[in-house]
Amino acid sequence: MRIEDFRKSIILAAKHNFPEASILLAEKRGISLEARVKISEKIFVEVYYNSLTGKKSFALIKDNQRILGYDNYKYWHIHPRNNVTSHVPCQEPSIEKVFEEIKEIILSI
């Protein structure tokens, strides 16, 4: 996936699920993208993408602690809400699916 396409997908999913959130984007050397979607003072989503390696990661952070995570380090897996230190294999989620899941969690906390 091109970095431009990933950037657009992050912005669309963030605005769709969190219209009031601020989105900070940082592109490095034209190959990696870091995004922070600030939902509230203590809650944000951290996103990373490297277009050369294909590495992607998504983390929901609350009070400086990971609440949920998805990444493809070695293989696609989720760090589930009830046990964020575990690695549960999964299929690659769409960006929209990740943001929808994050929204459900935020509504429940």
- Where are the domains positioned within the chain? 3-108
pTM for the whole thing? 0.95
User: How many residues are recorded in the chain?
Assistant: 109
Query: What digits encode the pLDDT tens for the residues 7-20?
Result: 999 999 999 999 99
pLDDT bucket at 30, cuts 50 / 70 / 90: confident
Beta strands in the chain (DSSP E): 22-28, 32-38, 43-50, 56-62, 65-71, 77-79, 88-89
Cβ-proximal residues to 102 (8 Å cutoff; 6+ apart), any chain: 17, 45, 58, 60, 68
Query: What digits encode the pLDDT tens for the residues 67-93?
Result: 999 999 999 999 999 999 999 999 999
